[in-house]
A and B are shown apart, each in its own frame.
Chain A
Amino acid sequence: MDKVIFKIKRGTPEEWQYVEYEVPVEKGTTILDGLYYIRDNIDHTLSFRASCRMEVCGSCAMMVNNFPRTTCSTQIENVKPDGTKNGIKVIKLEPLSGYPWIRDLVVDFDDFFKKHESVKPYIIRKETPEGQLLQSPEQLAKFKQLTLCIKCGACVAACPISNSDPLYLGPAALAAAYRFNADSRDEGKNKRLAVVSDPEGCWRCHFSAECSEACPKDVDPASAIQKLKVQAAVFEFKRIFTGRKDGEK
């Protein structure tokens, strides 16, 4: 294989079309390499986000043949084509699904980050400790995988609920809530559960698990949400039992 066709959804919500570009490919060429090739050599007006090109900054996720992927870490060779044209493999690129579209391959992430913020994704403690907060490797292992989330937004784009219900907190935010609830240094579990117990929180998830399939970092938000549901159920029970909103005794 020495070239491929990128079929890119271009324009704005008001006016758009698919535009095709031929991109040279060698071993290891990524989708992002191809996008840079187009912008540098064929069409300077192509708009997309990218930065680290090593799958750690989370900028470059988009729909690749209808599936959300971080394009910097997706080798063209490994993508099943969306079809062929004159014998050349075609790859379809579109902005992330489930987000307000700004232009070309760029979507609006404001709501994504607001939802993340809403679950209180930080350590909550009553007092500031003096020295190290000891944490055994086993305690760390309980949430370590969840810390790998790069906020690329692929999980939300893959989630059928997020795509149909803009109020749903979504897999990234819910996984972040569980990440802190599972951290032995944290004392703010109930504050987070009060947020995620909302009907638009963890109960909205139907465990289709598309989020975990889409995650480039194997964070597995789907299983985190199920664990969060267990915590939320206990929390709800305590709320009823104690008659207190925060579920504290």
Chain B
Amino acid sequence: MEIHKADIIILGAGLAGLRAAISAAETNKNLKIAVVSKVFFLRSHSTAAEGGTAAVLYEGDSYDLHAYDTIKGSDYLADQDAVEIFVRTMPKEVLDLDHWGCPWSRLPDGRIAQRPFGGHSFPRATYAADRTGFHALHTLYERMLIYENIERFQEYFVTSIMIDNGTFTGLTAMNMKTGEYVIFQGKALIIAAGGLGRLYSFTTYSHTVTGDGAAMALRAGLPLEDMEFIQFHPTGLVPSGILITEGARGEGGYLLNKDGDRFMKKYAPQKMELAPRDVVSRSIMWEILEGRGYSGPWGPYVYLDLRHLGDEKIKERLPAIRDIAIKFNNINPKDEPIPVRPAAHYTMGGIQVGNDTMSPVKGIFASGEASCVSIHGANRLGSNSTAECLVFGDISGRNAALYVEKIQNIPDLNMDKVKEEENWLYKEPFKERGSESVATLRRELQNTMQEKVGIFRNEKDLTDALKIIKDLQKRFDNVYVEDKNMYYNTNLMTYFELRNLLEVAEVVVLGAIARKESRGAHYRTDYPKRDDVNWMKHTIAIKRAGKIELSYIPVRVTKWQPEERKY
């Protein structure tokens, strides 16, 4: 057994996790910080973010405007005090990345460039070509290397969060390279483990985004907030689902139906293609449902047309999109439009935390997509997610450092629980029984979520989905891991991931069944209107004795009263 001790343990090494690590290390150079991830840090899904990161940098823009755009975009479910902290802190984050080497795209005078993005009324998406997440992640990784008090644990699969007497005590994990059992003991934990998009079959997410953080939090008794809100990005490349950035529309790209119409004029006459993602995704699906989409062997689609931008602009501003279209679809966007369809892209919900990123359990913090502060409410604006990771990653790192400074000793672990988890991890998956495979169950889960818990939802589909998920959870007991070799056993890792996906799927669906209104990304065809009287509130899900219980907490409003959302 490997045992590691640290003051702060950070679970996840994407933008939020690495930002938190740097912040904690800077707050106190004497703290020992352990960053743990199931992938090499640079493989984290943050690297796939493309278009930009939102910040108020220049004249003509203002914090109030960014806050208003974000809150209106959230369909008035964002907590407004949190949004105000967010918009005010973000410019500093852009500067930090600049100082640390991020290759921001530049204006002719050498200043950092910005571009328009969906739902933003000022071009404030700060970008590094169309590889913003990639460059930001690499910059943070590189910066992290200078801190001697940050220890890296890469390719460690964490399996449970240990809490005793209402206080965090440690994590259990498996070293993927050796298969060894691992214990991490610490005074504080920051969960920055990302989203859960591989619940869906058509998605922009990396294969590794399987809701591990949310599922472990749920098992440990932490509350999850607003999990029913799943964002569908309007332009997932058909058939792979690879993200085609909103920046493509920010630079002037058109969405066209099969009649060659820029159909967004019907749905969002002012913002057109740059309406928020929930609006654009629904519009595309309406076009498809009403027969104005294209159909192909991999399902329906519409076109994203960049031809009028010209080769030079595409190469300069959207080089990755050009590369993706050529390498994956054999299409050069200067000559041909790109086939797209909405794809699962972002998890608005997450572990419930306050503006200080603290969860209700002592010593546990969360930031980034794994958390729900909430600044995104029912629908996140493009370029606000990488920004959130930076701002709240920083806050979580600093607050965790200040928290552990006051704690003398690392709390003791409950060794019975440690043993119990070890038993489960090394015996349960290998028990030979039944004939179910990880792949079959995962496919059925993803198809169910895609068909019944997607962009358009209704009571019948959702209750059907819940039944299927419950059944899949039972069938999971009949899955066993054939691979007995413990060196880099991906069969076993995907088994753990499937278990996590099945647990969080239930929370998503339960929240969606309960919420009898349409708000942001949660659209109920049987309740097509937003209902501020009954539903302007956050969903909280907690697992008690194996059962998920829902409750609700109010939205924090400062100065923006709900209004009708028109674009």
Contacts and interface: CB of A to CB of B under 8 A. Distances in A.
A56 B47 contact: yes
Interface in A101-137: 102-104, 106, 108-109, 113, 117, 120-123, 125, 128-129, 131-137
Given A132-B95, A137-B108, A40 B439 contact: yes
Nearest to B480: A44
Contact of A57 (B48, B99, B106, B109): B48
Nearest to A137: B106
A122 B142 contact: yes
A131 B95 contact: yes
Contact of A180 (B99, B101, B488, B490): B101
B43 A51 contact: yes
Interface in B32-87: 39-40, 42-45, 47-48
Interface in B90-114: 95, 98-101, 103-106, 108-112
A140 interface: yes
Given A51-B208, A53-B206, A134-B111, 17 more contacts: A40-B439, A40-B443, A45-B482, A51-B206, A52-B47, A53-B207, A54-B242, A73-B328, A104-B488, A121-B145, A122-B100, A122-B142, A122-B145, A132-B95, A134-B109, A137-B106, A147-B138
Contact of A140 (B106, B207, B490): B106
A58 B108 CA distance: 32
A144 B489 CA distance: 37
A129 B100 CA distance: 11
Contact of B239 (A28, A48, A49, A131): A28
Contacts of A48: 490
Contacts of B490: 39, 46-48
B143 A57 contact: no
Interface in A28-86: 28, 30, 39-41, 44-59, 73, 75
13 contacts: A41-B439, A54-B242, A57-B206, A75-B328, A104-B488, A121-B142, A123-B142, A128-B99, A133-B98, A135-B104, A139-B110, A147-B103, A147-B135
Contacts of B138: 147
Contacts of A9: none
Q: How large is the interface on B (under 10, 10 to 19, 20 to 34, 35 or more residues)?
A: 35 or more
B341 interface: no
Contacts of B240: 28, 53-54
B553 interface: no
A236 to B, nearest CB: 26
A51 to B, nearest CB: 4
B43 A59 contact: yes
B197 to A, nearest CB: 12
A12 interface: yes
Contacts of A113: 40
A49 B28 CA distance: 35
A57 B42 contact: yes
Contacts of A45: 482-483, 485, 491
B389 to A, nearest CB: 16
B330 A122 contact: no
Contacts of B106: 135-137, 140
- The SS class assigned to the A binding surface is loop
B437 interface: yes
Interface of B: 39-40, 42-45, 47-48, 95, 98-101, 103-106, 108-112, 131, 134-135, 138, 142-143, 145-146, 177, 206-208, 239-240, 242-243, 320, 323-324, 327-330, 437-439, 443, 481-483, 485, 487-491
A56 B488 CA distance: 22
A185 interface: yes
A143 interface: yes
Given A132-B111, A147-B135, A12 B487 contact: yes
Contacts of B324: 54-55
Nearest to B177: A102
A199 B345 CA distance: 48
Contacts of B101: 122-123, 180, 183, 185-186
Contacts of A136: 106, 108-110
A145 to B, nearest CB: 10
A129 to B, nearest CB: 6
Q: Which of B42, B104, B443 has the most CB of A within 10 A?
A: B42
Given A123-B99, A128-B99, A135-B110, A57 B43 contact: yes
B242 A103 contact: no
A30 B207 CA distance: 15
B48 A39 contact: no
Contacts of A51: 39, 43, 45, 206-208
B439 A56 contact: no
Contacts of A121: 142, 145
* Residue among B43, B105, B131 with max Cβ neighbours from chain A (10 Å): B43
A44 B177 CA distance: 18
B487 A57 contact: no
Contact of A108 (B177, B329, B439): B177
A151 interface: yes
Given A44-B438, A47-B489, A122-B146, A53 B242 contact: yes
Interface in A185-218: 185-186
A202 to B, nearest CB: 20
Of listed A54, A120, A134, residue having the most chain B CB within 10 A: A54
Contact of A54 (B42, B48, B100, B488): B48
Given A57-B47, A134-B110, A140-B106, A125 B99 contact: yes
A73 B327 contact: yes
B107 to A, nearest CB: 8
A135 to B, nearest CB: 5
A131 B490 CA distance: 46
Contact of A28 (B95, B100, B323, B328): B328
Contacts of B439: 39-41, 44
Nearest to A70: B327
B103 A143 contact: yes
A55 B177 CA distance: 23
Contacts of A55: 323-324, 327
